[in-house]
Amino acid sequence: ARTQSCTRGGGGGGYSGGGGYGGGKQGVTIKMRGLPFRASENEIAEWFSSVADPIDIQIRYNHEGRPSGDAFVTFASEGDAKRAMQKDRASMQHRYIELFLEG
């Protein structure tokens, strides 16, 4: 499966994750399952915004290039990731979203 990465830093537009996190390789990652197929990186960031700001979002795609309904979302710290886990089993666009803290 392919991924489309959307690393957030300062400037530009959209939302800012603060910057200084080196391409999203650092931090703590949460797997999302059950995403609406039309969900964008910005919609995922907005969904988490009440609890924590992601620094990297990677939506997974199947072998046909269509969204699989899964994404990996990285947060700057374990504390941010634990706060983000409060959104486990919450809804996005009438879809039930499951969250899994990775590694």
Token pair 């979203």: residue: 97
- As given in the structure block, the two tokens for residue 84 are 């983000």
**Angstrom distance (rounded) from CA 59 to CA 63:** 13
- pLDDT at res. 15: 40
CB atoms < 10 A from the CB of 53, how many? 16
Does 73 have pLDDT greater than 70? yes
46: confidence class by pLDDT, cuts 50, 70, 90: very high
Q: Where are the beta strands (DSSP E) in the chain?
A: 2-7, 28-33, 54-61, 67-75, 91-92, 95-96, 98-101
Evaluate if pTM is beyond 0.85. no
Of 3-7, 45-49, 63-67, 91-95, where does mean pLDDT reach its minimum?
A: 3-7
